[in-house]
Chains A and B, each alone.
Chain A
């Protein structure tokens, strides 16, 4: 009996791993110990015991429920939800340069300066949409450098600092032992600066394609700078990208994201996606005090009014809102698209981001952003 149970649970662990829930041996052991303590004839108790010991994230509850139903209740396995099969639509023609860029000869042109000052300058000015795969490969490394700058905020945590503004009593006490209790030599602490939260929402719909490649690389490097960076992709739907960007290479993350959030030909639903963000993540204060960056051309296919409403909600929680619109790189551009026009009143900085130079500008703005409506 005990053996049968053990086999059952171990196999179930494997089923969970197959649907994408990481289950370590420690967790399985907890599950077994838990089952030992509850009434095995009660289905809810068995269900909760397994769920509470094997699952650690809310977003995995759905997957768990499906696996549980399939394995223990012998229910037919429901087809996996959207996004699980990141199939590349055959009409896509642009993704290849990027993959070549990663696989291509990394050693050949490591130093961008080898291009010579003028070549480098040209590359900086060149619109991402017109870059050849080779040029993009070079741009790639520059992008990573640019992304390293992060906005800072003052932490509430203090650390020793001889020029600090608060007495460090613990060290002061120790030092004053030598002088019979007189605090001759004083010690101070001060607050340090830590990276401010950064939330990036990136439009990956068809009209943005040539730019999102570059911006996703930018994001990938930004997520690599440490915690406190959250990335989302949106098109017809919204999807959280942080985990993917931290673990896989940016091309895969991009392919997967656009496959799961873009319905081909359905257009971009900026307002609806912002709303999904505010409802699901804004409510949990993920964006509170964050510098929030939206990357989109502002082509709303549904309801510009909704864009304005949700931007207002977003702006209220955020420390500052930056909108990056590659179309702005064209000097002729005017923000006439309905969605863009509705969003602008709530935007603190409006930047292009269509070439390397404007990405540098973006990074500088992010690093130096001081307070709302400073621009």
Chain B
């Protein structure tokens, strides 16, 4: 599915249960229009990965995800040979006259996400998640793939993309990415959403959540972000928390239930200690009164 305007794309994303800020819809729209990868950066839990998934749903495209980690190499990102099958094949040939071409042919190839995305004939959204976790060798390799959308396998030759996949990269900025890679991408920084949008997101993602609970939870989390925490909670945490509160049958916040469920929002002991007693009561008050 193609989109002629940003509004059209925004509508489709909303259909796919994702409420983007204008900046994000612009970034995704441009990425499709210019056929360029888009790099999404932002704190953990602001919805970077979710954006790629929603884009796939909105376009009716298949999502192919490559989760990055240190040491990620070609064998896990692009392709690998199916060694057990190759061995069996040699054994089955009895006389031992297996040619190299035969053994390194396409039927012995295991396709990993990048090759799969390049070879795919249907539309694909390729999500390269947490690229900052991969090491620089891989980044350099990726740069090559993203500039030409082709992959070379020594035994087979060069495989070109039938249709360019739309590519979304995400990064938590644990390290600065190489400039060359950034130059290939559109860049968008995702911040925390506005309060109205966060309430809307909670209502959309937690079906059946009481209206007042959604508002108060969002305002409470916003209050937390204004404190000086080691790890301020993201939208993902607000959603988790609202889900927990709704499951407990809460219609609105009170200090007691907040205290016992705060673990879905705060993940560090220091942060817990910063939000105890008076502070907690004050935040609950503010969330309830809508200040």
Asked if B182 and A30 make an inter-chain contact with CB atoms under 8 angstroms apart, the answer reads no
Q: Is the interface of A mostly helix, strand, loop or mixed?
A: helix
What is the bound-complex CA distance between A288 and B173, given in angstroms?
Answer: 13
Q: Closest Cβ of chain A: how far from B98's Cβ, in Å?
A: 7
What is the bound-complex CA distance between A170 and B86, given in angstroms?
Answer: 10
Chain A, residues 81-117, CB within 8 Å of chain B (1/0): the string is 0000000000000000000000000000000000000
B30 at the interface (CB under 8 A from A): yes
Q: Closest Cβ of chain B: how far from A220's Cβ, in Å?
A: 18
Q: Closest Cβ of chain B: how far from A279's Cβ, in Å?
A: 8
Select one of B22, B70, B91 contacting A45, CB under 8 A.
Answer: B22
Residues 186-238 (chain B) with a chain A CB within 8 angstroms: 186-189, 228, 230-231
Residues 64-121 (chain B) with a chain A CB within 8 angstroms: 69-71, 73, 81, 83, 86-87, 90-91, 96, 98, 100, 103
Contacts of B136 in A (CB 8 A): 227
Select one of B30, B90, B179, B183 contacting A177, CB under 8 A.
Answer: B90
Asked if A56 and B90 make an inter-chain contact with CB atoms under 8 angstroms apart, the answer reads no
Known: A176-B90, A177-B90. A26 touches B26 (CB 8 A): no
Q: Closest Cβ of chain B: how far from A205's Cβ, in Å?
A: 24
Contacts of A278 in B (CB 8 A): 230
A11 at the interface (CB under 8 A from B): no
What is the bound-complex CA distance between A17 and B161, given in angstroms?
Answer: 36
Q: Closest Cβ of chain A: how far from B248's Cβ, in Å?
A: 30
A1 at the interface (CB under 8 A from B): no
A53 at the interface (CB under 8 A from B): yes
Asked if B73 and A157 make an inter-chain contact with CB atoms under 8 angstroms apart, the answer reads yes
What is the bound-complex CA distance between A45 and B41, given in angstroms?
Answer: 19
Asked if A37 and B34 make an inter-chain contact with CB atoms under 8 angstroms apart, the answer reads yes
A286 at the interface (CB under 8 A from B): yes
Residues 148-189 (chain B) with a chain A CB within 8 angstroms: 172-176, 179, 182-183, 185-189
Chain A, residues 15-53, CB within 8 Å of chain B (1/0): the string is 000000000101100100110011100001100110111
Q: Closest Cβ of chain A: how far from B198's Cβ, in Å?
A: 19
Asked if A177 and B186 make an inter-chain contact with CB atoms under 8 angstroms apart, the answer reads no
Known: A48-B27, A283-B231. A57 touches B176 (CB 8 A): yes
Kindly report which residue of chain A lies nearest to residue B81, judged by CB atoms: A170
Q: Closest Cβ of chain B: how far from A155's Cβ, in Å?
A: 7
Q: Closest Cβ of chain A: how far from B183's Cβ, in Å?
A: 7
Asked if B33 and A34 make an inter-chain contact with CB atoms under 8 angstroms apart, the answer reads yes
B142 at the interface (CB under 8 A from A): no
Q: Closest Cβ of chain B: how far from A93's Cβ, in Å?
A: 36
Kindly report which residue of chain A lies nearest to residue B108, judged by CB atoms: A173
Residues 257-303 (chain A) with a chain B CB within 8 angstroms: 278-279, 283-286, 288
Asked if B6 and A155 make an inter-chain contact with CB atoms under 8 angstroms apart, the answer reads no
Asked if B30 and A52 make an inter-chain contact with CB atoms under 8 angstroms apart, the answer reads yes
Contacts of B5 in A (CB 8 A): 38-39
Asked if B137 and A157 make an inter-chain contact with CB atoms under 8 angstroms apart, the answer reads yes
Known: A157-B137, A177-B98. A52 touches B70 (CB 8 A): no
Asked if B87 and A48 make an inter-chain contact with CB atoms under 8 angstroms apart, the answer reads no
A184 at the interface (CB under 8 A from B): no
Residues 42-88 (chain A) with a chain B CB within 8 angstroms: 44-45, 48-49, 51-53, 55-58, 61
Chain B, residues 38-51, CB within 8 Å of chain A (1/0): the string is 11010100000000
Asked if B73 and A173 make an inter-chain contact with CB atoms under 8 angstroms apart, the answer reads no
User: Which of B6, B22, B100: most chain A Cβ within 10 A?
Assistant: B6
A181 at the interface (CB under 8 A from B): yes
User: Which of A33, A177, A286: most chain B Cβ within 10 A?
Assistant: A177
Asked if A155 and B71 make an inter-chain contact with CB atoms under 8 angstroms apart, the answer reads yes
A371 at the interface (CB under 8 A from B): no
Known: A45-B26, A52-B188. A30 touches B34 (CB 8 A): yes
Contacts of B185 in A (CB 8 A): 56
What is the bound-complex CA distance between A161 and B220, given in angstroms?
Answer: 56
Asked if B90 and A180 make an inter-chain contact with CB atoms under 8 angstroms apart, the answer reads yes
What is the bound-complex CA distance between A153 and B175, given in angstroms?
Answer: 18
Select one of A30, A156, A313 contacting B186, CB under 8 A.
Answer: A30
Asked if B83 and A169 make an inter-chain contact with CB atoms under 8 angstroms apart, the answer reads yes
Kindly report which residue of chain A lies nearest to residue B177, judged by CB atoms: A56
Select one of B69, B174, B179 contacting A284, CB under 8 A.
Answer: B174
Known: A157-B71, A173-B86, A181-B96. A44 touches B22 (CB 8 A): yes
Chain A residues in the interface with B (C-beta under 8 A): 24, 26-27, 30, 33-34, 37-39, 44-45, 48-49, 51-53, 55-58, 61, 155-158, 169-170, 173-174, 176-177, 179-181, 227, 278-279, 283-286, 288, 313
| New A-B pairs, 18, CB < 8 Å, besides A176-B90, A313-B270 | A30-B186, A33-B34, A38-B30, A48-B23, A48-B26, A57-B182, A155-B135, A156-B71, A170-B81, A173-B81, A177-B90, A181-B96, A278-B230, A283-B43, A284-B174, A285-B172, A286-B175, A313-B230
Chain B residues in the interface with A (C-beta under 8 A): 5-6, 22-23, 26-27, 29-30, 33-34, 36, 38-39, 41, 43, 69-71, 73, 81, 83, 86-87, 90-91, 96, 98, 100, 103, 135-137, 172-176, 179, 182-183, 185-189, 228, 230-231, 270
In the assembled complex, 14 residue pairs joining A and B whose CB atoms fall closer than 8 Å, in A order, are A24-B183, A30-B36, A37-B30, A48-B23, A52-B23, A53-B30, A56-B187, A57-B176, A157-B73, A158-B73, A173-B81, A176-B90, A283-B43, A284-B174
